[in-house]
Amino acid sequence: MSDSERSENRRREVDAILDRKPGTVSVTDLEDRYRVVGAADQGTYANWLTPVEDHYVCHRNETLEPDADSWTVALTGAVERDSTLGMDAIRDEYPTVAVAHTMECAGNGRGYFEPETGSVQWEYGAVSTAFWTGTPLRSILADHGAATDDDMWLTAVGGDRPEVEGENDLFARSIPLSKVLEDCILAYEINGQPLPPEHGHPVRLLVPGWYGVNSVKWVTELRVMEKMVHGPEWVDRDGDDYTRWQQSSYRIHPEGVEPESNATISTYDTWEQWESDEIDQPYTYDENVKSTIGYPEDGATVSPREDGTIEVVGVAWAGDDDVTAIEVSTDGGESWDDGSFFGPNYDCAWRLFRYLWEPSTGSYTLYSRATDEHGRRQPARISRPGEGSEDSEDAADDYPWNEGGYAENAFRPHAVEVTVE
């Protein structure tokens, strides 16, 4: 396929997705590759559940639209019994569960990096919360006599293929088996509806609380392995580009660094990897602590209610960790007050927060800042390249600029400017 055909394909697909999803807008992709749409407005973040119509979408290759009746998922590797599961078996032969999951693209906030990094220029819009229905992988693996050792891996492969001739990078992600056994599912519904094509119809892996890239859509194979994908494991394919999604892309590292390939790692939490001596270029696994104000929206003019208050509302999350504190500043970060959480409280989904504000008329800059159960708090800003957070004046308040623009969680880029009348 020529570049212009591919580009046209992409535009046509994005337009079709936008038609189905009126709550989303298209987002700039400097690579002109990804099928991406993001939340249309900040008001999305004043609600706990994201309707499918508003849920962001992100994948690289052509959207698959397969027939569910003939779709199969191969289970291979360290299992007593290999098998090929059809959708009926996945639905009917195992327990059904629903999990709440805040899906965030590892590139959410990349558009705030200066200087600019490549790829999709997301601002705040690549995070959404939904209920995903499916089959616990634990049940399927147990039924096939799969190994259960904590330090093993499950690699999921997507059915999508690059449109570019000569590229054969299989979309393959390896998830530690401990996480898989804890709460991962093969999902076939979102918010009680069958998965739309762009969300991975008929079935995808869902890794609760971890960056979106781990939740492989259109799953065709699940392989139980001793190591994460790092070499030519898929011998039927020439070349080993499929390791890129595991070993090169979606890793956090400074400019010009080629991430080291690891056969296995023992620390999965994204931030913990950053702090550990074991991993120099963290894999984007669980989501960093972060928050977004949903009301009032940036640029709005608002009036207090009769009692003189305005309720600031937003969402805060910390991957599969708990978010334990939320602070709000209405004076551009000079002072902070505690907000409070309310509404649903699920393990791997964001929490709504509110803060009762009694402003006089004027212009204000609002920020929100969340802290997770490990005491990790959102930093203020994104550093410049080369200014490692350790050298900076206010190290704890810098998020490290990184070449891929991943896992950003600084609060200043999320400033909300409001006028109170």
Binding site for Mo ion (CB under 5 A): 58, 105, 212-213
Q: Which of residues 354-413 bind ligand MTE (CB under 6 A)?
A: none
The smaller minimum CB distance to ligand MTE, of residues 105 and 418, is found at 105
Closest C-alpha to 121, from 58, 204, 49, 64: 58
Q: What are phi and psi of 327, to 5 degrees?
A: -120, 150
- Between CA 104 and CA 253 the distance in angstroms is 19
Q: Report the nearest approach of ligand MTE to the CB of residue 365 (Å).
A: 29
Among residues 52, 105, 229, 352, the one that binds ligand MTE under rule CB under 6 A: 105
Q: Is 57 in the site for ligand MTE (CB under 6 A)?
A: yes
Instruction: Please identify, using beta-carbon distances, which residue of 62 and 143 lies nearer to ligand MTE.
Output: 62
Q: Which of 267, 305, 259, 292 is nearest to 369 (CA)?
A: 292
How far apart, in Å, are the Cα atoms of 184 and each of 136, 285, 295, 420? Answer: 6, 13, 32, 45
Query: Binding to ligand MTE by residue 59, rule CB under 6 A?
Result: yes
Write down the least CB distance from residue 161 to ligand MTE, Å. Answer: 10
Q: For residue 120, state whether it binds ligand MTE (rule: CB under 6 A).
A: no
Figure out which of the listed residues 79, 103, 228, 410 binds ligand MTE, where binding follows CB under 6 A. 103
Q: What is the 3-state secondary structure (H, E, C) of 120-157?
A: ECCCCCCEEEEEEEEEEHHHHHHHCCCCCCCCCEEEEE
| Position of minimal CB gap to ligand MTE | 158
Residue 215 interacts, among ligand MTE, Mo ion, none and using kind-specific CB cut-offs from 5 to 8 Å, with: ligand MTE
- The structure tokens listed for 298 are 């940036």
158 binds, among Mo ion, ligand MTE, none (CB under 5 to 8 A by kind): ligand MTE
Q: How far is the CB of 410 from ligand MTE (least distance, A)?
A: 19
Task: State which of residues 217, 253, 354, 414 lies at the interface with ligand MTE (CB under 6 A).
Answer: 217
354 binds, among Mo ion, ligand MTE, none (CB under 5 to 8 A by kind): none
Nearer to ligand MTE, 295 or 350 (CB): 350
Closest CA to 212 of 64, 34, 53, 6: 34
- Among residues 160, 221, 287, 321, the one that binds ligand MTE under rule CB under 6 A: 160
Only one of the segments 138-146, 212-220, 274-282, 338-346 lies at the binding site for ligand MTE (rule: CB under 6 A); that segment is 212-220
Helix, strand or coil, per DSSP, at residue 244: helix
Q: Which does 195 bind (CB under 5 to 8 A by kind): ligand MTE, Mo ion, none?
A: none
Nearest distance from C-beta of residue 336 to Mo ion, angstroms: 31
Burial class (CB in 10 A: 0-12, 13-18, 19+), 69: exposed
Q: Which two tokens stand for residue 239?
A: 């070349």
- Report CA-CA distances (Å) from 312 to 224, 330, 351: 46, 10, 14
Pick 216 or 416: Cβ nearer ligand MTE: 216
Alpha carbons 398 and 326: distance in angstroms, whole number: 18
Q: How far apart are CA 347 and CA 350, in angstroms?
A: 8
N- to C-terminal Cα distance for the chain? Answer: 56
Binding site for ligand MTE (CB under 6 A): 55-60, 103, 105, 158, 160, 171, 199, 212-213, 215-218
